[in-house]
C-alpha cells in the first residue's frame, strides 16, 4: 500500500495578477514561500520515499522548501501546468478583446480545446496519468509538487469518469492531497490539507 502526496506550489507573482498562465515561469511571492513552509510542517507527519517536482520555478522552489527529508528532488517536465498557448499571460478582459472567438471555443469545449500553440485539458490529463503509470511505484509513498491543473486532472481520473470532476476540487496554493493505493485501488485520504 503506497501513497501519492500531491502538493500544489505556493502563490506565485502571476497568481496575484490574475492572468492565464501555465508554462510562464514566475517565482514564488513571499506569501508563497510562507505557504510552502506551512506545507513542510504538514508533511513532517507524512512519510515519503521519493519526491518529484515540475520543472517550473514556482514548483521547484516549493519542493525545495517542503522536502523536510532532504531527499534528492527529481525534476520532470511532465508535471508542468497546462500550456495555455496564446492565452498565456493575458487577463480574461484582454482575451475578450483580442481573442473573443477562441475564448468562446475554450469555454464551450474546455476538455478538448487546444489553446493554439498550447494543449488541451485532456492532453494534460493523459500526460499526468502517463507520468504516474510509467514512473511512480504505487507501493511506495511519493510526493509530487505540481500545479492546480495537474492535480485536478489526476483527481478526476481516479475519482470520476475522465474529466467529469475536473472543476469540482478546490486545491489552494500550498494545499496537500493524499491518494492511497490499496492493491492499485485509489482511496482519497486527504484533500486540500493546509491549503
| Catalytic residue ranges | 9, 81
Cell numbers that stand for 58 in this block: 514556482
For 121, half-sphere exposure in the C-beta direction (CA atoms, 13 angstrom radius) is 22
Neighbours of 101 (CB within 10 A): 7
Name the 3-class secondary structure at 158: helix
| Cα–Cα distance, 76 to 35 (Å, whole number) | 22
DSSP run (H or E) holding 31: helix 30-43
Q: Is the CB of residue 20 less than 8 Å from the CB of residue 103?
A: no
Amino acid at each position: 500500500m503506497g501513497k501519492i502526496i500531491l502538493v500544489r506550489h505556493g502563490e506565485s507573482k502571476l497568481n496575484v495578477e490574475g492572468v492565464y498562465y501555465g508554462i510562464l515561469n514566475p517565482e514564488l511571492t513571499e506569501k508563497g514561500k510562507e505557504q510552502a513552509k506551512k506545507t513542510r510542517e504538514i508533511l513532517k507527519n507524512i512519510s515519503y520515499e521519493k519526491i518529484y517536482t515540475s520543472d517550473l520555478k514556482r514548483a521547484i522552489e516549493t519542493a525545495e522548501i517542503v522536502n523536510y527529508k532532504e531527499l534528492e528532488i527529481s525534476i520532470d517536465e511532465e508535471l508542468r501546468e497546462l500550456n495555455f498557448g496564446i492565452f498565456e499571460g493575458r487577463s480574461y478582459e484582454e482575451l475578450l478583446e483580442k481573442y473573443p472567438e477562441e475564448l468562446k471555443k475554450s469555454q464551450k469545449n474546455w476538455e478538448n480545446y487546444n489553446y493554439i500553440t498550447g494543449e488541451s485539458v485532456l492532453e494534460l490529463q493523459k500526460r499526468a496519468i502517463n507520468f504516474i503509470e510509467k514512473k511512480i511505484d504505487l507501493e511506495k509513498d511519493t510526493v509530487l509538487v505540481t500545479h492546480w491543473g495537474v492535480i485536478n486532472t489526476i483527481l478526476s481520473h481516479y475519482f470520476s469518469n475522465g474529466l467529469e470532476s475536473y472543476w469540482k476540487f478546490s486545491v489552494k496554493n500550498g494545499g496537500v492531497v493524499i491518494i492511497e493505493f490499496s492493491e492499485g485501488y485509489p482511496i482519497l485520504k486527504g484533500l486540500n490539507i493546509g491549503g
